[in-house]
């Protein structure tokens, strides 16, 4: 019993005398608003599903034996790495890429996707910056709006919207008109 008591006292003294070498650090400062800018961009997204080098590929699908109507049954998931160009032709200058995923989220005949995409810019004034889009995308509507929920680089803390217009179907060419506010 004495040995147990002795070990307990040694443990208590060791823990009590062991110095703490780390401290919690926190600093709160008053918020100082910064002047925000409004940026307007227009570019084209090339979503290629066919050919030897598609930019959108199916990575998951529904586990069903039922014949689904439409090209993308409910639950179908695609990974994308689409080109962003200055014009609607693939031969125009490449300004970046759209990388992310989209999921078919509609069980009715009107195709609706949930889209998460990072619009990364590889040239020009915004090289190295990107916009984050996370939104519902009702594909069957010719004109639609997506939410910009953030960004990085020059678009840090961005918020705004993307107006999407479908130029061609199938291997889709989409016109993106972007309006964002950022510091």
Q: What is the CA radius of gyration of the chain?
A: 26
Q: Does residue 26 surpass a pLDDT of 70?
A: yes
Least confident of 60-74, 106-120, 169-183: 60-74
**What would the pLDDT profile of 3-18 be if each residue is shown by its tens digit?**
777 777 777 766 655 5
Give the global pTM. 0.80
Q: Quick count: other Cβ atoms within 10 Å of Cβ 46?
A: 22
pLDDT band of 22, cuts 50, 70, 90: low
Share of the chain above pLDDT 90, in %: 62
Q: What is the average pLDDT across 41-64? A: 92
Q: Is the dihedral of CA 42, 37, 96, 136 positive or negative?
A: negative
Residue with tokens 């699908």: 61
82-to-27, 54, 59, 172 alpha-carbon distances in Å: 42, 9, 15, 10
131, β-bridge pairs: 119, 151
pLDDT given for residue 3 in this prediction: 73
- pLDDT at residue 173 above 80? yes
| 111 class by beta-carbon count within 10 Å (0-12 exposed, 13-18 middle, 19+ buried) | middle
Q: Taking residues 52-63, report their average pLDDT.
A: 91
**Using one digit for the tens of pLDDT, what is the confidence trace for 89-124?**
989 999 999 999 999 998 888 889 999 999 999 999
pLDDT of residue 69: 59
């Amino acid at each position: 019993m004495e040995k147990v008591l002795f070990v307990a006292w040694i443990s208590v003294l060791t823990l009590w005398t062991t110095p703490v070498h780390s401290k919690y650090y926190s600093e709160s400062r008053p918020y100082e608003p910064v002047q925000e800018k409004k940026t307007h961009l227009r570019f084209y997204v090339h979503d290629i599903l066919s050919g030897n080098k598609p930019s959108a590929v199916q990575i998951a699908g529904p586990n069903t034996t039922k014949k689904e109507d439409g090209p993308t049954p409910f639950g179908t998931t695609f990974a994308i790495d689409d080109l962003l160009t200055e014009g609607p032709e693939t031969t125009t200058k490449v300004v970046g890429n759209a990388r992310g995923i989209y999921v078919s989220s509609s069980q009715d005949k009107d195709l609706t996707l949930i889209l998460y995409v990072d619009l990364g810019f590889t040239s020009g004034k915004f090289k190295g910056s990107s916009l984050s889009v996370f939104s519902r995308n009702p594909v069957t509507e010719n004109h639609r709006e997506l939410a910009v929920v953030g960004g990085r680089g020059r678009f840090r803390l961005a918020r705004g919207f993307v107006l999407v217009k479908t130029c061609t179907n199938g291997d889709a060419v989409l016109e993106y008109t972007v309006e964002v506010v950022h510091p």
